[in-house]
Amino acid sequence: MSSSPLPNPHGPAAPGAGKTGAAQPLAQRYGWVAAVAAFVTYEAALHHAAHQHGAEITALLLGAAPFLLLALSAARQPAWRVPALLAVALAAAALWTWRTPLALHFGWTYFLQHFGMNAALAAMFGRTLRHGHTPLCSQFAAAVRGPLSPELQRYTRRVTQAWTLFFALTAAVSAVLFAAAPMTTWSNFANLGTPVLVALMFIAESACRRLAMPGMAHAGVLEAVRGYRAVMEKRAEQAGLLR
């Protein structure tokens, strides 16, 4: 996920790029900080529960929570509201009723969450590499700075390929460790190792970008977040998930 190299810091920007930070609501400017903090807190709770003897039920509920929230998000669509709410209610009731036997297998909720997320991200990035499609990282960069030069198009395509490979390998390692290693080993990789590896990927991409294009100014974290949000909101609207 490239943080959007800027070909000309004084050149024309994409629509909306000239808005000052002060004019943006605080939730839009700093919401990503809260999201990162919530993610780190959740990952820490997952890791602690996986290593804590007697916390199997807590681990089960923590692992199942994202699936229930995902189902609840479908209730935003009027056509899915009743089925989604009914499914969540039944799932929550079943989860609580059979929490003791299900807690013996809480690791599956962790695995499905981690493997599924990375496999889905690999597919999301990889699908945009098909002929006739715009690579996802190119879309992020264009959302911040408008049309990209041929050089930036080639670079952001390579970045998209790198993230596709990264997520695919992460999913594969997750499956191997879950099948062949102790739960604590898998948890160390999924809840501690994966966030660190993602951070290292961002650092490595930033360093490579500066080496490959030393004469260009580059967007910061806030601009990259803005580009990501703009693209993902557009994709959600096209899929009919936002109204």
For the chain, what is the radius of gyration of the CA atoms? 20
d(CA 90, CA 84): 10
Domain ranges of the chain: 106-243
pLDDT in tens, 14-72: 444 444 444 456 555 566 677 778 877 887 887 787 778 888 888 888 888 888 887 78
* pLDDT for 145 beyond 80: no
User: Which amino acid, residue 59?
Assistant: A
56 DSSP β-pair partners: none
Q: Is the pLDDT assigned to residue 169 strictly greater than 50? A: yes
DSSP conformation class of 80: G
Residues 6+ apart with CB under 8 A from 211: none
Distance separating alpha carbons of residues 40 and 116, to the nearest angstrom: 19
CB of 160 within 8 A of CB of 139?
no
Alpha-carbon distance of 124 to 10, in angstroms, equals 33
Q: How many CA atoms lie within 13 A of 123 on its CB side?
A: 7
* Segment among 110-114, 165-169, 190-194, 205-209 with least mean pLDDT: 205-209
> 5: which DSSP letter?
E
DSSP string for residues in 169-182: HHHHHHHHHHHHS-
Pairing state of beta strands 5-6 and 217-218? Answer: antiparallel
Which has the higher per-residue pLDDT, 99 or 157? Answer: 157
Handedness of CA 23, 24, 25, 29 (dihedral sign): negative
Where residue 164 falls among pLDDT bands split at 50, 70, 90?
very high
Two structure tokens written together for 92: 């929550």
Using CA atoms, how far apart are residues 146 and 143, in angstroms rounded to an integer? 6
218: closest CA among 167, 128, 154, 156? 156
CB atoms inside a 10 Å sphere around CB 42: 14
Q: Which residues contact 181 (CB under 8 A, 6 or more apart)?
A: none
